[in-house]
Amino acid sequence: MSRLLPTLLLLALLPCNSALAHGGQFRPPRGAPRAPTPPGLPAQPTAPAQTGKVQHTWTVWWSYSQFQYLDYRRMQRERAGPITGSEGKQDADKWRDELRARLIPVLRKAITDKDREVRTAAAVALGKLQVRAAIPDLERMLRLDKLQEGREAALLGLMYMREPQLRATFEREVRRKAGKLRVRGFALFGIGRLGDDQSIAYLQSFFDRKDKQAKAILPSSSGEKREFRVACLAAMLM
């Protein structure tokens, strides 16, 4: 837990859209073809010769695959054709909606995958896409996932929703004194992301020595109590 303080401060200072999903190294299947370059984008560079001792980490894979993901807005315009009046904009929006319609069911299924890397990344992605229909799925993952990493990912996904109805869920996790301090910290972030007066008042209550209800929730040890309050400050910055 000694590493929680700098981690929380770093998360608070980073833009929310820069948070990364949980994930490890990317190793494509041997001999798997690369995806074609979308129309209108630069051709992908040729990958160097590989040996059995060389593994594709995420960085290496991204270096040779990034062009199929970059400049999404330009691809959207080209798919929609010349934008004239409202009709062209509707076509572009339609394409985006089509992508969401195809992607969201895959992500909702992926959060039950046996591979922790798959389900944690899917949980964060659902939150970033603000798929509110997936809130019950993420809450179930928060309750039932056996891995702390899975519960953290579920909380992150819920945090990105910025949905007032989740206040009770976040506060329940904050009150769980037997839970990991890091998980309770993510729940505090979720409350901070709601961004209303009620949330700020709740976070400030943990600095009020006269608030007996808030004091009962604080960790017992002085070190963890300090880190809990740092998490409150980081949440207020959000």
The 10s digit of each residue's pLDDT in 21-56 is 444 444 444 554 555 554 544 454 445 454 444 444
The 10s digit of each residue's pLDDT in 92-144 is 567 677 778 888 999 999 999 999 999 999 999 999 999 999 999 999 999 99
- CA 142/CA 174 separation, integer angstroms: 13
Region 73-92 average pLDDT: 57
- Closest-CA residue to 126 (of 100, 146, 152): 100
CB distance 233 to 221 below 8 Å = no
- CA 226/CA 231 separation, integer angstroms: 9
Task: Please give the full DSSP string across 62-88, using - where no structure is assigned.
Answer: HHHHGGGTS-HHHHHHHHH-S--HHHH
* pLDDT, greater one: 157 or 14: 157
Domains along the chain with CATH numbers: 93-161 (1.25.10.10), 165-238 (no CATH)
- The CB density around residue 21, as the number of other CB atoms within 10 Å, is 16
Q: Which residues contact 148 (CB under 8 A, 6 or more apart)?
A: 180, 182, 183
Strand segments (E) across 8-120: none
- pTM exceeds 0.85, yes or no: no
Region 220-237 average pLDDT: 93
- CA 181/CA 5 separation, integer angstroms: 11
